[in-house]
Chain A
Amino acid sequence: MRFTHLFFLLYFFVLLNCKEEKLQLSKIEGKQIQITDTIPIDIDIEAFVKPYRDNIQKDLDSVLAYSTSTFSKNDGELNTALGNFMVDAIYSEANPVFKSRTGYDIDMVLLNHGGIRSSLNRGHVSKRTAFQLMPFENSVVVIALKGTQMDSLIDYLRRAKRAHPISKLKLILNKDFEVVDAKIKGEKIKQNKTYYVATSDYLYNGGDNMRFFKPNDSVYYLNYKIRNAIIDKFYKLDTINPVIDDRFIQTK
C-alpha cells in the first residue's frame, strides 16, 4: 500500500465521523459549593418566605399557659416534676383517642429521660416551649404487653436507675435497686393480663435500648405527636405546676 492511500483512508474516517457529529463524554468535574453568607440573598425568594416565617413566629410565641417555676429534668432522683408533667399529659390527652378507637384504656405511659430536651422555664409557656421540650417528631404508640413482659419493662427501669418518666405505674425500689412494689393503677401486675403501654415510636423501635416492647400482642399507632399532646395540655391549663411525687422512688 502506498502512503497516499493511507492518507485517503484517514480522511475517509475523519469525514465519516464529522458527518455523525456524535458527542462523547470526555471529562467530568465534580465539586461542592457551600452556601455561605457571602452569597447574596435573592430578594424575591426572601419576600415570598417572609409572611410564612412571620406567621410561624407569631404562633410559636403566643402564650398558652404560665409556669410557676423553672422545671429541669435534673431536679429529682427517680422521678422529676417535668418528666411527670410530660407523661401525665400524654396519658390525659392520648387516652381518649385510644379509648375511642379501641374501647380500651391506656394502662401506663413510659418515656425516656433523655428525650426531655430542655427545661420548662418560669413564666409564659407557648408552642415554642413544646418544640424545645420535644423537638423530634415522635408519635404516641400503644403496645399491648402481657404481664410477663411487664416484668422486663420494670426490670429495665430498675437497672437503668434513671428518672425515665412513668405515668400510672408506681414503682418502689429498695437500697439495692430491687423491686419492692410495682403497681399499675393501684393494682398488682397480673401475669396473664394484657396491659396497654403508651410510649413513643422511637422507644418502641428500640430507642434507649428498650427492647421489651417486641414481640407483643398488638401495636396501635395513634398518629398523635408527643409534642402535640403537650401543646394540647398547655391549651387546657392556665398554670403549670407539676411536682415530684412517689411514683418511682427508692427506699433508703
Chain B
Amino acid sequence: MKRRDFIQKTSAGTALVTLGSLGLQSFTSAVKTTKITILHTNDVHSHIDTFGSEEGRNPNTGGVARRASLIESIRKENSNTLLLDAGDIFQGTPYFNYYGGELEFKLMSMLKYDAATIGNHDFDNGIDGLYAQLPHAEFQFITANYDFSNTIMDTHTKPYKVFKKDGIKIGVFGLGIELDGLVSPSMFKETKYLNPIEISQDMTRVLKTEEGCDLIICLSHLGYHYGNNSDKISDLSLAKATRDIDLIIGGHTHTFLPKPTIVKNIDNKNMLVNQVGCYGINLGKIDFYFDSDKNKSVNGTSIIV
C-alpha cells in the first residue's frame, strides 16, 4: 500500500522540474544540440514470444520480434542510441529450460544491446551455466558490486563501460542484488557481494573525475523500493544516498511505473529512476538533450516525464 501511494504521488500529472532560474535566454544564435537516447528493458525472463490473446493481464503484448522493429525505428530516428538491460534475462519460459539462455543472448546480440547487468535469475543454471552462454552474447556484462575474482566469470564482466556518442561520454556502471537468500550458494559459488552504495560512490567518482563522463547511468538489479520500514537497498534509497547519477535503470521487483520517478539525490539535485515492469512488455526510453554551456548555467536542466 505504501509503495502504491508513493508511485501515485510522484506520478500525479506531468511533472516538469526545472533547476536554476529563468532569464538571459537565447544568448547565442547557433546552439548545437545533441540528443542521446537510452532504451532499456529489465526482467525479460526468457519471454521471447508475444503473449497470447488469452493471456490474462497482458494479452498480445511483448515479443522480441516486435521489440526489434521498435528499437530499429528509434535508432533510425537517432543514431546516438544505447540499448541496455537491467538483468534477469534468464528463466521464465521453456526457451530457457531447453536452451539454457543461448537464444536469449543471441537475440539480444541481434538487437544490438550495448550492455546488460546480471540479475539473480541469471544464476539459475549456476555461475557455470551463465559462463557457458557468454560466447552467444555480443554485448558487455557490467557489474561493479559482484566480485567474481574467485569464479569462472572472472575477467568476463566490467564494473563500468564508457560509451562515446557524438562527443558525449556516457558512463554506465552495474549493480546486482545480494544473492545470499535468493540464490543457492552452490549456484553463485564464490561470488562476493559488495555494498552497492559504497561501490556507487566510487564508481561515480571514477566516471565523473577520471573518465570525464557527461552522463552517468546506473544499471541496477537491486529492486525499485522495499517499503519505508525496510533497510534493504533499493533504487530509490540508492538514488537518495549518492551523487552525480543521472539515471538509474532498475529491475528485479517487476515494477510497472506509470512514468519514470524523479528523485532528489544527496546534493538535492533531481535525477531519474526508471523500471519497465517485466517480460519485455515495455521498452523504456529516456532522451538526454545536450546543448551549449550557457544554457545549462542559465536555465538548468528540465526533466519532463
Contacts and interface: CB of A to CB of B under 8 A. Distances in A.
Interface of A: 14, 17-18, 20-37, 39-46, 48-49, 52-53, 55-56, 59-60, 131, 137, 139, 201, 205, 221, 223
Nearest to B30: A18
Interface of B: 27-28, 32-34, 48-50, 60-70, 72, 91, 94-95, 98-99, 103, 106-107, 110-111, 124, 126, 167-168, 181, 184, 186, 214-215, 246-247, 257, 259-260, 272, 274, 276, 280-297, 299, 301-305
A3 B50 CA distance: 68
Main secondary structure of the interface of A (DSSP, over half): mixed
B286 A28 contact: yes
A23 B301 contact: no
Nearest to B301: A25
B248 to A, nearest CB: 12
Contacts of A25: 214-215, 246, 288-290, 296, 301
Contacts of B32: 21, 23
27 contacts: A20-B293, A23-B34, A23-B214, A23-B291, A27-B289, A27-B303, A27-B304, A28-B287, A30-B259, A31-B259, A31-B284, A32-B285, A33-B70, A34-B61, A35-B67, A35-B283, A37-B50, A37-B60, A41-B63, A45-B110, A46-B65, A48-B106, A48-B110, A55-B98, A137-B91, A139-B184, A221-B184
Contact of B286 (A30, A34, A39): A30
Contacts of A221: 184, 186
Given A39-B69, A223-B186, A32 B295 contact: no
Contacts of B110: 44-45, 48
A201 B184 contact: yes
Contact of A31 (B28, B61, B285): B285
A35 B63 contact: yes
Nearest to A204: B184
Given A28-B301, A30-B259, A221-B186, A56 B285 contact: no
B303 A30 contact: yes
B290 A24 contact: yes
A91 to B, nearest CB: 21
Contact of B65 (A41, A56, A223): A41
B291 to A, nearest CB: 5
Nearest to B50: A37
B28 A26 contact: no
Given A20-B293, A21-B292, A25-B246, A30 B274 contact: yes
A248 to B, nearest CB: 29
B46 to A, nearest CB: 11
A24 B292 contact: yes
B292 A45 contact: no
A105 to B, nearest CB: 22
B66 to A, nearest CB: 4
B19 to A, nearest CB: 10
Nearest to B296: A24
Contacts of A46: 65
Interface centre among A34, A60, A205 (most CB of B within 10 A): A34
The 7 closest A-B pairs by CB, nearest first: A24-B296, A42-B68, A30-B260, A23-B290, A27-B289, A45-B65, A41-B65
Nearest to A227: B97
A60 B259 contact: no
A26 B49 contact: no
Given A31-B286, A205-B181, 12 more contacts: A23-B292, A25-B288, A30-B303, A31-B259, A32-B274, A33-B70, A33-B285, A41-B63, A41-B69, A44-B68, A53-B48, A221-B184
Contacts of B61: 34-37
A33 B70 CA distance: 9
A17 B49 CA distance: 51
Interface centre among A45, A48, A60 (most CB of B within 10 A): A45
